[in-house]
A and B are shown apart, each in its own frame.
Chain A
Amino acid sequence: MKKTIAAEILLVLLLVPVIYILTGRDEVRDIDADAVVSACEPYVTQDRFSGERAYEMSVKRNFGLNMNDYPAFVYYGNERAMDVNEFLWVDAGNEKGAKEVLASLEKRKSDQITAFTGYGPDQVAMLEKAQVFNCGRYAFYICSPYSGEWYDVIKKLVY
């Protein structure tokens, strides 16, 4: 009986480092802009984005965010006034910063919905399904007919 208890205690003790390793680590991987661009490239070609990455001015204009305040970002916008397809990834440096960025992204989504309500039902439908979320220190805005697939790609990239 003593041997049985000792063996059971040993098995429980063996579990402790396993649980620690699986839960004590940073969930979110370090990624950079190049990794995001590579991962998202198939969807950029499927979506009717302007094709090239847009820069700080576009993000400032559309989201009210100054990208010089953040370590990195990737933004795919659109050139046509009636398009709402957009992809924005921001490395905010830390989770708190990402949540602050998220507030701006949510505002962009609601402003767009307000802007297109009444005359752009397809755009409104796409905007309602837009994915706005953060993974650790990264914030994402994905408005696309393929936003589900973009989301899956991002999850695999980040976790």
Chain B
Amino acid sequence: MVFSGLVFLFIFLPSVLLVYYLVPFKRKNAVLAMFSLVFYAWGEPVYVLLMLYSVVLNYASALIMESSPNKKQVLVFNVVTNLLILGFFKYCGFLTGIVRDITGADIPELKVALPIGISFYTFQALSYVIDVYRGKVKPQRNIVDFAAYIAMFPQLIAGPIVRYSDISAQLRKRRISLEGFGRGSMRFTFGLAKKVLLANVLGETVEMLGTGDLTVLGAWIAAVCFTLQIYFDFSGYSDMAIGLGRMLGFRIGENFDHPYISSSVTEFWRRWHISLGSWFREYVYIPLGGNRVSAAKHIRNIMIVWFLTGLWHGAAWNFIVWGLYYGLLLLFEKYVLSHIKLPKAVALPLTMLFVIIGWVIFSANDMASAFSSIGAMFGAGAAGLTDKLSVLALIESWKLIIVGALFATPLPAMLCKKLTDNEAGKAAVMIYAMALLVLCTAFMSAQSYNPFMYFRF
């Protein structure tokens, strides 16, 4: 089930909200946990078993750790088990492929389906156990409340990665109000619009161009459209998750802060997928020593974090290269560009250029195809400057690219905030949101292209 689907919007969500609002507070977490498992089971019921196991494993580990004389041993056990499960389902095929390629051994191809959202809920669970170990939070004694945290459907499938310390108080006590519901539903609607009206439509242009023989123009249009598509897809989903959380009384942290207005790659990663970046910083980078070590160790720490960031995104070489690409860029900014202050008019487009190239690597089927696409962007190996297909793509997408670029800036949000200073403005924004919802519903009914890109993590 996807948020941008008619089943979710008109059957599942109303059912959840109706039951959730009707039951007394002490039952709300149980309702949330139950509906979250139904949501997860909708696509493939059997993978709920793994989700339930994750709940039991991490719930039990935290309680055992509390009473154990050797807390570190329990932590190691838990982290290793969580990572082995994630590794098995996500990386088994990739690793056996590498061993096959290197050794030539006749190892059978292991086809293991990837349970949806496993990267997200595993990282959430790890943050919980590590925070219990550090004494930052007390173990959750109520398994239903804990299940509600791990399985919470708003962010279960594609984040944001919610740390237990940010939500533990809200599990016990949270304010559920009409105002929160209203704000949450507006946020959800705007996220839905980003996904259905922008991301999906941009994606059709990317699909149309494909990855075959691209012209220079075609390569750039595909790259720019994908850059916008992935932003609206992922940030749209995060908006929906945050909006749903608000409707249920939860305040979930922001996951995107207009990353495409960044003047440096460092700034970009403070604005893009904030929950993942802060997870790696908190649980990998800082424990390794962060930047409070020698330059050589700092470089090592950055490259480890970015290798893992790339690997987290997918079991393929292009994701690893993408991660390392950003690691190198960040090091370059830190050690080479730190004394140079580029004007914003240069820094912003330069940063966007690096980001767009990064997305070309990210979206490629393999490294050969990535290099081919990047080469085509700069004329090397391109099938000419333009062709019928790329000109058609430009004609069909230029308006959407401009609208997308505008909505990637803070301007629409600033305008919305200014409008809601008075009652008439609030009414106007509400009507706008309702119109968007109607339009999205129409699009969803007609659209056949509706992938959620971050679902593959």
Asked whether B74 lies within 8 Å of A4 as measured between CB atoms, the reply is: yes
Bound Cα distance A146, B208 (Å):
9
Q: Mark B181-197, 1 if CB is under 8 A from A, else 0.
A: 00000000000000000
- Given A1-B70, A15-B81: A22 and B46 interface contact (C-beta under 8 Å): yes
Q: Which A residues are CB-close (under 8 A) to B57?
A: 11, 14-15
- Rounded to whole Å, the gap between the CB of A26 and the closest CB of chain B is 11
A66 smallest CB distance to B (angstroms): 29
Q: Does B50 contact A (CB under 8 A)?
A: yes
B68 within 8 A of A: yes
Residue of chain A at shortest CB distance from B203:
A148
The answer to whether A8 and B56 touch across the interface, beta carbons within 8 angstroms, is no
Known pairs A12-B81, A159-B113; A4 contacts B68 (CB<8 A): yes
Q: Of residues 175 to 227 in B, which have CB atoms within 8 Å of A's CB atoms?
A: 207, 210, 212
Option from A7, A15, A23, A129 in Cβ contact (under 8 Å) with B53:
A15
Confirm or deny: B389 has a beta carbon within 8 angstroms of a beta carbon on chain A. yes
**Which B residues are CB-close (under 8 A) to A27?**
111, 113
Report chain A residues within 8 Å CB of B49.
18, 21-22
- B70: which A residues are within 8 A, CB to CB? 1, 4
> Among A19, A46, A128, which residue has its beta carbon within 8 angstroms of that of B88?
A19
Query: Which residues of chain A have C-beta atoms less than 8 A from B449's C-beta?
Result: 148-149
A1 touches B113 (CB 8 A): no
Within 8 Å by CB of B56, from A11, A42, A149, lies A11
Tell me if B171 counts as interface (CB < 8 A to partner A): no
- How many A-B pairs fall under 8 Å by CB? 62
Convert B74-90 into 0s and 1s, putting 1 for each residue whose CB lies closer than 8 angstroms to a CB of A: 10010001000100110
Partner of A18, one of B50, B69, B111, B448: B50
B50 partner residues in chain A, CB cutoff 8 A: 18, 22
Which residues of A (3-51) have their CB < 8 Å from a CB of B? Answer: 4, 7-8, 11-12, 14-15, 18-19, 21-23, 25, 27, 42-43, 46
A125 at interface (Cβ–Cβ under 8 A)?
A: yes
- Contact A11–B47 (Cβ < 8 Å): no
Q: Hey, which chain A residues are within 8 Å of B64, CB to CB?
A: 4, 7-8
- Nearest Cβ on chain B to A25's Cβ, whole angstroms: 7
Q: How far is the CA of A12 from the CA of B61 in the complex (A)?
A: 12
A152 beta carbon closer than 8 Å to chain B: yes
B427 within 8 A of A: no
With beta carbons under 8 angstroms apart, the residue of B53, B88, B389 that contacts A125 is: B389
Question: Do A146 and B56 touch (CB < 8 A)?
Answer: no
Nearest A residue (CB) for B77 = A8
- For B99-122 the 0/1 string (1 means CB < 8 A from A) is 000000000000111010000000
Q: Report the Cα distance A12→B81, complex, angstroms.
A: 8
Other-chain residue from B112, B115, B207, B388 in contact with A148 (beta carbon distance below 8 A): B207
Q: Could you tell me if B53 and A14 are in contact, using CB atoms closer than 8 angstroms?
A: yes
Give the residue name and chain of the A residue nearest to B92 (CB).
A23
In the bound assembly, the distance between CA atoms of A1 and B70 in angstroms comes to 7
Interface residues of B in 212-265 (CB under 8 A from A): 212
Would you call B14 an interface residue if the criterion is a C-beta within 8 Å of the partner chain's C-beta atoms? no
Bound: A19/B74 CA distance, A: 22
List of B residues within 8 angstroms of A121 by Cβ: 388
Chain B residue numbers with a CB within 8 Å of A25 are 46
The answer to whether A129 and B210 touch (CB under 8 A), given A22-B50, A42-B448, A43-B448, is: yes
Size bracket of the B interface: 20 to 34
Contacts of B212 in A (CB 8 A): 125, 128-129
Given contacts A25-B46, A27-B111, A42-B448, contact A8 B207 (CB under 8 A): no
B278 interfacial by beta-carbon distance below 8 Å: no
CA distance A7 to B50 in the complex (A): 18
Q: Quick one: closest B residue to A11, CB to CB? A: B57
B73 close to chain A: CB less than 8 A:
yes
Closest residue on chain B to residue A136 by CB atoms: B111
| Chain A positions 117 through 159: 1 when the CB is less than 8 Å from some CB of chain B, otherwise 0 | 0000100010011000000000000000010110010000001
Inter-chain contacts of A42 with B (CB < 8 A): 448
Q: A43 contacts which chain B residues (CB < 8 A)? A: 448
Q: Is the CB of A21 within 8 A of B46?
A: yes
- Closest A residue by C-beta to B68: A4
Cβ contacts under 8 Å, A46 to chain B: 448
Cα distance A23–B68 in the bound complex, in angstroms: 33
Cα distance, A27 to B114, chains bound together (Å): 12
**CA distance in complex: A21, B112 (Å):** 12
Contact A14 B56 (CB under 8 A): yes
For residue B430, CB closer than 8 A to chain A, the reply is no
Q: How far is the CB of B91 from chain A (nearest CB, A)?
A: 14
CA distance A7 to B74 in the complex (A): 10
- Given A4-B70, A8-B74, A23 and B60 touching (CB < 8 A)? no
Q: Is B451 an interface residue (CB 8 A)?
A: yes
Given A1-B68, A11-B60, the answer on whether A18 and B53 have CB atoms closer than 8 Å is yes
When distances are taken between beta carbons in the complex, the residues of chain B under 8 Å from A1 are 68-70
In the assembled complex, the Cα of A22 lies from the Cα of B77 at a distance in Å of 22
A-B contacts besides A4-B68, A11-B56, A11-B81, 14 pairs, CB < 8 Å: A4-B70, A4-B73, A11-B60, A12-B81, A15-B81, A15-B85, A21-B46, A22-B46, A22-B50, A22-B89, A23-B112, A46-B448, A148-B449, A152-B451
Shortest Cβ-Cβ A-B pairs, 8 listed: A149-B448, A4-B68, A18-B53, A18-B49, A8-B77, A148-B207, A7-B64, A128-B212
Sample (24) of A-B pairs whose CB atoms are under 8 Å apart = A1-B70, A4-B73, A4-B74, A7-B60, A7-B64, A8-B74, A8-B77, A11-B57, A15-B57, A18-B49, A18-B53, A19-B88, A21-B49, A22-B50, A22-B89, A22-B113, A25-B46, A125-B389, A128-B210, A128-B212, A146-B448, A148-B449, A149-B448, A152-B451
